[in-house]
Chain A
Amino acid sequence: MRLEIKDLHVHYGKIEAIKGISVTVNEGEIVTLIGANGAGKTTMLKTISGLRPVSSGQIIFNGEDISKMPAHKRADLGLAQAPEGRGIFVGMSVLENLEMGKYNRKDRKSEMSEDLERVFHLFPRLKERISQVGGTLSGGEQQMLAIGRALMARPKVLLLDEPSMGLAPLMIANIFNIITEINKTGTTILLVEQNAQQALQRAHRAYVLEVGHVVKEAKASDLLNDPAVRAAYLGTGAH
């Protein structure tokens, strides 16, 4: 098991946002957390990457309990996150953003050109925009940059927070194709999504979150055909 979350509790002040969630992510999988607004999806990712403190429970990464470790050290271990809302550095160029992705890696100099090449292969658009400043990119390009930047660190587990948010349908399909491609090259992915349709089609396994609890855990393909899930998250219209 790459990543195992055991009975996690997280608080914002006195309000409990995560009420005892356990999630496992195996090597090579795409695991998705789906759920409505306020279910605790983003809090889960922020807690795993270290931006939110754990109230109780364990986060085990490669057999090591990292629940007390500061965020920047978790990045060194091989956890990379493309944050919600495409948290890119708006004042830095595309290249500078990508360089930030491996800010702390020991071999960053020798790896740099190879990794840039890999990211530009996945996202040719970023190569065209290499000298452009992050804040002037379109929404889809910013999302590509956020994912590309996370890949620069050669992560063992990639955490993706709502990569489809605010994007046009064509761009959403494009981003999810690339996520599948990244996974096929051996990167384990934990994906948080509101776009349950796309997420369930791409993922191997899925967890359904409701107000801080896991209400369902199954193979993604099973959930796609689950009547309750269809009613709650997939709508009844044609897809």
Chain B
Amino acid sequence: MADKKNRYNIRDHAATYWENSPKWRRVSMSIAFIAFFYALPFLNNPLVNTPGSDFQSVLFYPVGMYVLMAIGLNIVVGKSGLLDLGYVAFFAIGAYTMAILGTHTALNFWEILPIGIALSMVAGVLLGTPTLRLRGDYLAIVTLGFGEIVRIVAVNIEAIGGPRGIAGIPTPPDLFKAKFTILDPKPYYWVLLTFTLLVIWMVRRMAARRPGRAWDAIRQDDDVAQLMGVNTLKYKVWAFVLGAAVAGAGGVLYASQILSIVPDQFNLNVSILILACVVFGGIGNLWGVILGAALLAFTPERIRFLSQPRILVFGIALVVMMNLRPDGILPKKKREHFDPNWKSVEESGEGEIK
């Protein structure tokens, strides 16, 4: 069909090519992609360089960090359809865990990381269990409040630095000869990329199995999902907690790189910007979300030479994009007809959340 919309459908073409490729080609392409991203800090191309800020730093924050957070938020917003406007709270909890434990105890980064993730998940359960019974706008308002509460609590507790925050956060110990110092963002970027790949792997596994099917059902019709015997609250809390864990891990790593944190870094703008990444890239589609986050984080840095008006230019670019592609850059596939030979969940085995 010479449908005009189909001609621009990068995703479908790429997906078809991928599905028709033999296994060796998929594996080698994946390896090439991953290798490319690990080598990215060495790329010295005037097109992608960021005048006004260090390219390698930009790769870690904001680009890499926003990609990781957008993937995490996509589990909540894109997969299960829960609008979370306070996602930054979990990032803050991870960062503060690193900052407090790093400055007050002898624990190093790798020991604090699981604690930071665990605390974010606990916060996810505490916030999720009572609030996920709410729907739509109400949930958005409660999560927005939660994001602000975490920041304001941090501002008001003198023991954790109050509005001045915490300084002197230790860097991670050396790992395979890579030294983590303030001057060299490359090792941080590699750790972050490794986290991101692990999260992508986890999300893809879950989405193809029973939890993914439950999230699909909940997003499409919460009531009917319950009628099918889906414990919707359990799966919603799980989506929330997994998203929180991703943000918490990001927060721990972020704090160990930036070395000092203040509460105002974790304001509402961050939540909104990450949500914008998800929507801009294509809500629900993992690759779209990654691309969207990378673009949204990178563009303001790339046009930093414009100095003052750059945010205006950025805003105009966003408005234009959302008019041209209202479903995002790489929207989720709109399924009209299925491949009759596709494998169902029950045939392909399953991973279950107990």
Contact = CB atoms under 8 A, between A and B. Distances in A.
A215 interface: no
B217 A89 contact: yes
B223 interface: yes
Contact of A105 (B229, B232, B337, B342): B229
B220 A132 contact: no
B336 A96 contact: no
B9 interface: no
Contacts of A73: 229
Interface string A109-148: 1001000000000000000001111001000000000000
B64 to A, nearest CB: 31
B130 interface: no
B229 A153 contact: yes
Interface string B324-353: 000000000001111110101110000000
B346 A99 contact: yes
Contacts of A75: 226-229
Nearest to B342: A131
A103 B353 CA distance: 13
Nearest to A130: B340
B231 interface: yes
Interface stretch (A13-21, A76-84, A177-185): A76-84
B230 interface: yes
A212 to B, nearest CB: 21
A99 B345 CA distance: 9
A119 to B, nearest CB: 15
A89 B344 CA distance: 16
A87 B216 CA distance: 14
Contacts of A70: 226, 231
Contacts of B229: 72-73, 75-76, 102-105, 153
A116 B231 CA distance: 23
A49 interface: yes
B337 A104 contact: no
Contact of B216 (A83, A92, A153): A92
B216 A89 contact: yes
Interface in A62-109: 70-73, 75-76, 80-81, 83, 87-93, 95-96, 99-105, 108-109
Contacts of A91: 216, 220, 335
A83 B232 contact: no
A73 B230 CA distance: 9
B213 interface: yes
Contacts of A131: 337-340, 342
Given A72-B231, A89-B221, A95-B344, A132 B226 contact: no
A83 B224 contact: yes
Interface residues of B, number: 27
B226 A72 contact: yes
A50 interface: yes
Given A103-B213, A103-B229, A132 B223 contact: no
A69 B251 CA distance: 40
B77 interface: no
B224 A104 contact: no
A51 interface: yes
B85 interface: no
B239 interface: no
A2 to B, nearest CB: 18
B214 interface: yes
A81 B226 CA distance: 10
Contacts of A132: 336-338
Interface string A136-176: 10000000000001100100000000000000000000000
Given A95-B344, A131-B337, A131-B339, A89 B227 contact: no
Interface of B: 210, 213-214, 216-217, 220-221, 223-232, 335-340, 342, 344-346
Interface of A: 49-51, 70-73, 75-76, 80-81, 83, 87-93, 95-96, 99-105, 108-109, 112, 130-133, 136, 149-150, 153
18 contacts: A49-B227, A51-B223, A70-B226, A70-B231, A72-B232, A75-B228, A76-B229, A87-B224, A87-B227, A99-B346, A100-B213, A100-B228, A101-B228, A104-B230, A132-B336, A133-B337, A133-B338, A153-B229
- 8 A-B pairs closest in CB distance: A104-B229, A131-B338, A75-B229, A71-B226, A87-B224, A131-B340, A89-B220, A93-B338
Given A75-B229, A90-B220, 11 more contacts: A70-B226, A71-B227, A72-B232, A75-B226, A91-B216, A96-B345, A100-B217, A101-B228, A103-B217, A104-B228, A132-B336
